Amino acid sequence: MAATAPAVDATGPAPLATRRRRPPYGAYGLLVPAAVVIGVALGYPLVRQFVISFQEYGLRQQFGQPAEWVGLANYTDLLSDPYVWTVIGRSVLFCLVNAALTMVVGVALAVLMSRVGRVARTTLQVSLLLAWGTPVLASMTVWQWLFDTQYGVINWVLSQVLGIESMAGHSWIIEPLSFYLVATVIVVWMSVPFVVFSVYAGLLQVPEETMEAAQLDGASGWQRFWGITIPMMRPVLSIVLLLQVIWDLKVFTQIYVLQRAGAPTRETNLLGTLIYSYSDEFSKAGALATIMLVLTLALTGFYIRQMLKEDEL
């Protein structure tokens, strides 16, 4: 006698694949307090800056005098000034050069960290953490001594060790070109640790089986790096590069401290220091800060759009 198949209970629970997952409203609710705090802490200053940029707001308004609404006059004055455009171009160039150098050095050190032994890796990690954790002003004091005209180690090495006599007593921050060279060294040195640790964490996620299979297929080290490692780490590299562009565009402390050490201000201003120079004209400072925000959004928007296009291919 043939066995009959057991009857299926039509009223039983539906398979997991056909069940509708309820949206996690509870998880979204947990984000509300943090979102409110961030919105108030960041939103109010941004709105206040935007409003002030359309007013005539100076020191007198700080003491109670009503602010006069001037519309786009502040933006017109700034954007019609050739010097402002010079500073904008200088800031964008400085940002892109520093971001590119930081990424190259950071990725190289991250790969080195993944290849060396435990002792060397720990030493490198501690050194990077110390460089990253040192306060900016303390680091700037050390760097100023290193590049000091009379007692700086850099000038001594170049003139006495390498025999470049013209570098004896050389002033690094008087000329704009050497000023930006020093600023680039300092900014990259302070930014590299973040890139190294981020990229190193991404390198740890690359499957060893994939690399071993590619090696068995005859792929060289460079081929494995460019063909496997870089594509797998593209999300990490994209986010890190995006953050570097944002941070390097609004750099302020390093430039300001070097200027206070004797550099020519007008020839070395970037957007951050130019905004600070309008300390008695809050309306123009707000307008210029808004322009920098728009410029930052334009650069990041272009970069994000390029990333999305690459993902669609």
State the pLDDT at residue 222.
82
**Inside any domain, residue 21:** no
- In whole angstroms, what is the distance from residue 292 CA to residue 81 CA? 15
**Inside any domain, residue 286:** yes
State the pLDDT at residue 256.
92
What CATH code is carried by the domain that includes residue 148?
1.10.3720.10
Q: Of all residues in the chain, what percent carry a pLDDT higher than 70?
A: 89
CB-CB contact of 214 with 128 (8 Å): no
What is the residue range of 276's domain? 83-312
Kindly report, residue by residue over 119-162, the tens digit of the pLDDT.
Answer: 988 999 999 998 888 888 888 989 988 988 888 888 888 888 88
Phi first, then psi, for residue 175 (nearest 5°) are: -85, 135
Q: Of all residues in the chain, what percent carry a pLDDT higher than 90?
A: 23
Report DSSP letters for 30-93, one per residue: HHHHHHHHHHHHHHHHHHHHHHHTTEE-BHHHHTTPPPEE-TTHHHHHHHT-HHHHHHHHHHHH
Q: What is the pTM of this model?
A: 0.80
Phi first, then psi, for residue 69 (nearest 5°) are: -80, 120
**Inside any domain, residue 152:** yes
**Inside any domain, residue 273:** yes
State the pLDDT at residue 194.
93
**Inside any domain, residue 308:** yes
Contacts by residues 176-180 (CB-CB < 8 Å, ≥ 24 positions apart): 176/264, 176/267, 176/268, 179/258, 179/263, 179/267, 179/268, 180/94, 180/268
Of 70 and 8, the one with more pLDDT: 70
State the pLDDT at residue 18.
47
Is 15 a residue whose pLDDT tops 60? no
State the pLDDT confidence band at 184, using cuts at 50, 70 and 90.
very high
**Inside any domain, residue 60:** no
What total number of domains does the chain contain? 1
**Inside any domain, residue 212:** yes
Is 52 a residue whose pLDDT tops 50? yes
150: amino acid identity, one letter:
Q
**Inside any domain, residue 44:** no
- In whole angstroms, what is the distance from residue 256 CA to residue 124 CA? 30
Kindly report, residue by residue over 285-312, the tens digit of the pLDDT.
Answer: 889 999 898 888 888 887 777 777 766 6
